Structure 1
Amino acid sequence: MSALSKQGHWFLSAPALILFAVFLLAPLVMTFILSFHQFDFYGGIDDSYSLKNYADVLGDSYFYEIFGRTFGIALATTFFCIVIGVPASYFLNRMRPAARSVMILVVLGPLLISVVVRTLGWAIILGNKGVINNFLMNIGLIERPIKMMYTSGGIVLALVHVMIPFMVLAVWAALQRQDPSTEAAAESLGASPLTIFWRIVLPQAVPGVLSGSLIVFSLSASAFATPAILGGRRVKVVATAVHDEFMNTLNWPLGAAIAMLLMVAILVVMVAWNRLVENRFGRAYA
């Protein structure tokens, strides 16, 4: 019976495994193979294989700048999501059920709108003739528009708006597992609200912060629509560089190599982050 039961589990999971293989693994394998092909501007993609594309990327400081900018934007987005998301999750956890339901809908609201629509909204707000610059000029605080479009700061601001729900939900899930009596005990001993938050709540929320930051960082590092619209060609990130190689120069093998290097870099960060969570917090919360 046990052997049949194990075979039954495999049969039940077979449809999901087939979909996973067809729609995720197969394109990744094809992209990986494509990255070793050679490209000629007159002859197109040929059948020869080499490491030239990877050597071109790893040996060019231009790509190092793009990768550095990409991960810098992802780190800044993750930092601001933590600063905003942790207090928001704390207050969400302390709300009454009715108010909490409304607030969860508000938090999830950005996810219900297309990322392109949200980014175009930020373009209207941050443009030289946008809402912020027009307001500041009308009240006399500035004489000329502040440059917010086509900057890394503008991309980070829009990405925070896109990614904050993932951080809030991850931290809130961690806070739901804490024992409410610990806060009551600290309050009975005379601890201030700030001390309770810093010494009691925050340590118990750390696993949620780490898991949420992992999600935010990986999604921010691979984001395309927001950097493409708000950054344009002035602030190029890895995702837009891959798009340019595929759609503009038609150098698909080089674009595939850049995409594979981005995936490997993100996977390295994810594995290291998971190892940190397991080593430092896995035993405490087992």
Structure 2
Amino acid sequence: MTDTSARASAPWSLSSPALLLFIGILLVPLLLTAVLSFNAFDGMRGIQPGYTWANYVEILGDGYYHEIFIRTGLMALGVTALCVLFGVPETIILARIRAPWRGMFLIVILGPLLISVVVRTLGWSILLGNQGTINNALQSLGIINEPLRFLFSMLGVVIALTHVFLPFMVIAVWSALQKLDPQVEHAGRSLGASSVTSFLRIVFPQLLPGVLSGSIIVFALAASAFATPSIIGGRRVKVVATATYDEFLNSLNWPLGAAIAVLLLLANIAVIVGCNRMLERRFKQVFSA
């Protein structure tokens, strides 16, 4: 083997263990799930060896599943919007805090990632209950006369998911903010721009790649979230992940559950790739102008 061919094959040789691990724990299960989604199912005899499109036809032609997918998409969009609304200012404020307070607040913000999502969701179920801390505080302040229904509602699910996924937005925006030269903002201020104009025209456009990557991460995680919607939403708020769970473990219709999971994956990929391409094209037009 020549030196040229050895250098060309070196990256593949070094990355082959990671590639094999990736194929084994991700691609193979996804492939098996996709194959399972084409199996026929009989209520008396279980999974049949034949292959059919009936599962996809049932999902795509049933308004019940349309409603579930639309509800899941709107929930993911709402969580993403709230994470952007709270995460971007929070990260900017955090970046401008001086040490050692910056490290302490960063630990507070990212600390929930060290706790199980189930534990965090159970904590929110206590806070959002009819006799929970939030309702008791609102009633004590005279803002409401009777408890608001947060549990078993989409509002409660969105609130809990926003808290769960907010650290991912902070991490993405933080990485983009570290590349920003603070002197650029100062230059804009010295040329007569107000603080708002300086932020909107100078700082925020440079943070958009981080906001975009954080939004993609949050949207994908929120659309496929299971623990929080099942605990906070219960049986009243059914999303795609809980519908898949019901088909696998309650109805035992594994092919139909696999088909729902595959469609969720494809919808996630389509939304993420579409938004990414659209925003990249928009950014190129703005910056080229």
TM-score bracket, shorter-length normalisation? over 0.9
Residue matched to 1:51: 53
Indicate conservation of the 8 Å contact 1:207/1:281, yes or no. no
Following superposition, the deviation at residue 5 of structure 1 comes to 1.8
Structure 2 residue identity aligned to 1:160: T
How many equivalent residue pairs? Answer: 285
Structure 1 position 146 matched with structure 2 position 148: yes
d(CA) in 2 for partners of 1:18, 1:255: 27
Residue matched to 1:165: 167
Residue matched to 1:185: 187
Following superposition, the deviation at residue 140 of structure 1 comes to 5.1
Query: Which secondary structure state, in structure 2, belongs to the residue aligned with residue 45 of structure 1?
Result: strand
Q: Which runs of 5+ in 2 are unaligned?
A: none
After TM superposition, the structure 1 stretch with the greater mean CA deviation from structure 2, 15-24 or 115-124, is: 15-24
Query: Which secondary structure state, in structure 2, belongs to the residue aligned with residue 90 of structure 1?
Result: helix
Indicate conservation of the 8 Å contact 1:170/1:212, yes or no. yes
After TM superposition, the structure 1 stretch with the greater mean CA deviation from structure 2, 192-201 or 70-79, is: 192-201
Residue matched to 1:42: 44
Residue matched to 1:32: 34
Indicate conservation of the 8 Å contact 1:150/1:235, yes or no. yes
Indicate conservation of the 8 Å contact 1:224/1:239, yes or no. yes
Query: Which secondary structure state, in structure 2, belongs to the residue aligned with residue 167 of structure 1?
Result: helix
Residue matched to 2:102: 100
Question: What is the 5 A alignment of 1:247-258?
Answer: 247-258=249-260
- CA offsets per residue over residues 15-53 of structure 1, 9 Å max, x none? 111111111111101100000011111110010111000
Which one of 70, 87, 90 corresponds to residue 89 of structure 2? 87
Following superposition, the deviation at residue 138 of structure 1 comes to 4.7
Following superposition, the deviation at residue 94 of structure 1 comes to 2.0
Distance 1:15-1:100 versus aligned 2 partners, 3 A rule: same
d(CA) in 1 for partners of 2:284, 2:7: 30
Q: What is the TM-score normalised by the length of structure 1?
A: 0.94
Residue matched to 1:243: 245
Following superposition, the deviation at residue 139 of structure 1 comes to 5.2
Residue matched to 1:224: 226
Distance 1:89-1:246 versus aligned 2 partners, 3 A rule: same
Structure 1 residue identity aligned to 2:39: H
d(CA) in 1 for partners of 2:137, 2:211: 36
- CA offsets per residue over residues 138-182 of structure 1, 9 Å max, x none? 555544321110111100000110111111111121122222222
- CA offsets per residue over residues 216-252 of structure 1, 9 Å max, x none? 0000000000001001110000000000000000000
Following superposition, the deviation at residue 14 of structure 1 comes to 1.4
Following superposition, the deviation at residue 280 of structure 1 comes to 4.0
Query: Which secondary structure state, in structure 2, belongs to the residue aligned with residue 38 of structure 1?
Result: strand
- CA offsets per residue over residues 193-222 of structure 1, 9 Å max, x none? 222212211111111111110110000000
Residue matched to 1:125: 127
Q: What is the TM-score normalised by the length of structure 2?
A: 0.93
Query: Which secondary structure state, in structure 1, belongs to the residue aligned with residue 268 of structure 2?
Result: helix
Structure 2 residue identity aligned to 1:92: L
Residue matched to 2:196: 194
After TM superposition, the structure 1 stretch with the greater mean CA deviation from structure 2, 206-215 or 94-103, is: 94-103
After TM superposition, the structure 1 stretch with the greater mean CA deviation from structure 2, 22-31 or 190-199, is: 190-199
d(CA) in 2 for partners of 1:83, 1:139: 26
d(CA) in 2 for partners of 1:9, 1:172: 30
Structure 1 residue identity aligned to 2:27: L
Following superposition, the deviation at residue 3 of structure 1 comes to 1.0
d(CA) in 2 for partners of 1:96, 1:35: 54
d(CA) in 2 for partners of 1:11, 1:141: 64
Residue matched to 1:17: 19
Indicate conservation of the 8 Å contact 1:210/1:273, yes or no. no
d(CA) in 1 for partners of 2:19, 2:102: 37
d(CA) in 2 for partners of 1:137, 1:269: 41
Query: Which secondary structure state, in structure 1, belongs to the residue aligned with residue 40 of structure 2?
Result: strand
Following superposition, the deviation at residue 273 of structure 1 comes to 2.7
Residue matched to 1:5: 7
Q: Which runs of 5+ in 1 are unaligned?
A: none
Supply the RMSD in Å over aligned alpha carbons: 1.8
Indicate conservation of the 8 Å contact 1:92/1:103, yes or no. yes
After TM superposition, the structure 1 stretch with the greater mean CA deviation from structure 2, 22-31 or 1-10, is: 1-10
